[in-house]
Amino acid sequence: MFKKVLIANRGEIALRIIRACKELGIRTVAIYCEPDATARYVKKADEAYLVTPGPLRGYLNIYGIVELAKNVGADAIHPGYGFLAENPQFAEACAQAGITFIGPNPQAIRKMGLKDEARKIAQKLGIPLLPGTPPLQSIDEALSAAREIGYPVMVKAVAGGGGRGLRICYDEESLKRQIPIAMSEAKKAFGDERVFIEKYLERPHHIEIQIVADKYGKIIHLGERDCSIQRRHQKLIEIAPSLLLTEKVRCQMGEAAKRLAYEVGYDNVGTVEFLVDENLNYYFLEMNTRIQVEHTITEEITGIDLVQNMIKIACGEPLEIKQYEVTLNGYAIQCRINAEDPLNDFLPSTGTVTAYYSPGGFGIRIDGHVTEGYNVSPYYDSLLAKLVARGRTWEETVRRMHRALSEYIIRGVKTTIPLYIKIMEDEDFFKGNFSTRYIEEKLPSLLYIEEKDPFDMAVILSAAIIAHSRV
């Protein structure tokens, strides 16, 4: 087992990795940029080092991070998610320095990181695909392909992920307009401006299969997560297992994900993403070669610690879990508590958290890094915490999440909590009637969020006091 792991990340995922390491008896090294100097994960690590300059560059400095790991005696690096997590050059730099990268091998990252290459591999294996194109050479080529595929289509970044470099087009004019925008966004986000187009399904479910693979060719899947509740292709609420899939389709998708992982020599945890239509036809979308933000809900319904398995597999241990031993127990929901204002087009909200009270109780889990006095910076992702509720039934899980959200207090910045409360109260959500367009279609009604006016509250309190005095 490793003696010391450097965590090349920040925030809640860094804290999650620290906890996993502590349970395995591994010392941890945190890195931080100046805005994170007083962050919770920095305090919880056994060692912490400032990486400068600026608020971001230190988290993206491949050779600086590897050199620091060597200097402090770390024998492994965990990249978390985001930043360098899916960068094959980072994994290669670790290997060249004699440091273990806690994630898949560089070749697998590279093969699955380019969407056009991943599509070719899926096609070779007979995994269903939406009609699409190779990387585009011109707008005229895109227009010709779109006529053949049929509108609507998606413009997608070849090296993309997380909704960046992705645009939906319903006609030729929008396609002409959106391709340059998508290319510019892809260049800025990934250093690769290439895009391709793919048929767009109007109301699919976005469903992903969690796989775990060791270095000896053994691969299992841990069921699925439904990530359809999203806005602008950014996930907000995730559910495990899906309310849509049958056991037969779940097995088919799981086996397809395993075949894909085996084909590229995958080792460690990963996620294969699909779109599923109302008739349960599924289509390969992409593979994420890292731990996912929403890994929590898979852990809750399977009882399997994914982060600890990442570490053990990277250390060379064989996978102990057999496919038939994986059981999905109950349901779990994750709400991403973001510092965003749903009433203002989800504009990021920055400032100091002036009050913080987290919910608890049976079936509730929080992965977060926020406390009272925490400064929400404009430099990083708006995610503050991940609130997870688990129950025996779907109905119990929704009610438990509603209760937990109602207890959650974060003051000083706007958050997505009020929106999530409304979603938990929505009849369509409760019945499982949702798709990737749920937020887009339901937002006007969901945004009717009652905010108590201080004057009205004062009147109510005064009336109550008067009434009590007359008793």
- Which amino acid is residue 241, in one-letter code? P
- The set of catalytic residues is 290
- Quote the Cα angle for 317-318-321, to 5°: 125
Neighbours of 151 (CB within 10 A): 15
CA atoms of 138 and 150, how far apart (whole Å): 18
CA atoms of 273 and 287, how far apart (whole Å): 6
Q: Are 139 and 182 in contact (CB under 8 A)?
A: no
143 phi, psi to nearest 5 deg? -65, -40
CA atoms of 269 and 312, how far apart (whole Å): 11
Angle between the N-to-C axes of helices 417-425 and 438-446, in degrees from 0 to 180, rounded to the nearest 10 = 100
Q: Are 390 and 301 in contact (CB under 8 A)?
A: yes
CA atoms of 64 and 57, how far apart (whole Å): 10
Exposed / middle / buried, residue 95 (Cβ in 10 Å: 0-12, 13-18, 19+)? middle
CA atoms of 191 and 161, how far apart (whole Å): 13
Render 229-293 in DSSP notation, one character per residue: EEETTEEEEEEES-SS--HHHHHHHHHHHHHHHHHTT--EEEEEEEEE-TT--EEEEEEE-S--T
Give the rounded distance of the alpha carbon of 50 from its chain centre. Answer: 26
